[in-house]
Structure 1
Amino acid sequence: MQKWEYVTVPLLIHATKQILDNWGEDGWELVQVVPGPNTDQLVAYMKRAKA
């Protein structure tokens, strides 16, 4: 059975693509983006397969 690990990542609106690209290079897959604690921030939920 496949096992997963998860991480939450703060996203700045002006740098969202760069942040997601960096995490994607490390094998993380975006699951969901939700509003953060203030209007300039989002929170990304990401997962990747455990080794």
Structure 2
Amino acid sequence: MASTKVTHKGKKQEQEAPLKGTWISVTVVGLVIVATYIVLYGLYMARI
């Protein structure tokens, strides 16, 4: 078999858009976790 050298010159992709979406997703998940914690803590304190 003949070996061939394959080179890939990819285009430089912008990183702004994916990072923006990632931060939005992380923020939403964080807010849901904090809201859940506050609700559960409130319910626990109401029980006492």
**TM-score, with length taken from structure 1:** 0.27
When you count helix as a share of all residues, which structure comes out higher?
2
When you count strand as a share of all residues, which structure comes out higher?
1
**TM-score, with length taken from structure 2:** 0.28
Greater relative contact order (CA < 8 Å, ≥ 6 in sequence): 1
**Greater C-alpha Rg:** 2
